[in-house]
Structure 1
Amino acid sequence: MPPRKSTSSMPPTDNEGPSSPTSAAAAVAQVTEQQAKSQSDGVSVEDLLLPRAVTQRLAKSVLPPDTAIQKDALLAIQKAATVFISYLSSQ
């Protein structure tokens, strides 16, 4: 079983049952590659987006009942809200 994300920086323990050292080494190598990639990429707006259901519910609450919201408009609202909240939290 691969380690959880919260403990992915820790090496796997031997109490997980019988496993070959090569598979454990491969798992550790894969985890460190993923960590290096995520650290070099930084954090993007997509990583911090608010939940789509919450954004949609808030947007529909201020519109007339029979109004439909396109996916692109909902995505724009999500990104704008995320940037706005990030700006407020940085001040």
Structure 2
Amino acid sequence: MPDPGLDPVIHTEARLRVVSALSALGRGDRISFPRLQQLLDMTAGNLSTHLRRLEEADYVTITKTHEGRTPATYVELSDTGRAALDRYTRALRALLGGQL
């Protein structure tokens, strides 16, 4: 069977959930780390690990800032990440449709 071209960075369940959730945001929109953690029902450590891997692949952009004296972290899906998710989705559809 030919390689369906499923991106190994996205293909793990947790990272697929992360990029899918972020793709629902508009381009340039971002979400706070705690809100993303809540939406995905993930521990902070687990989410951080997966975000680090996505950031290394340039699929997400992480912005650390302060709101007053409180640290704040925001996450957004990069254009590279959107394109990767689009390729992944097409490859998965082709695989499921037997169009390899």
Give the alignment's TM-score, normalised by structure 2.
0.27
**Higher helix proportion, which one?**
1
Q: State the TM-score, normalized to the length of structure 1.
A: 0.30
Q: Kindly name which structure, 1 or 2, has the bigger radius of gyration based on alpha carbons.
A: 1
Higher strand fraction (1 or 2): 2
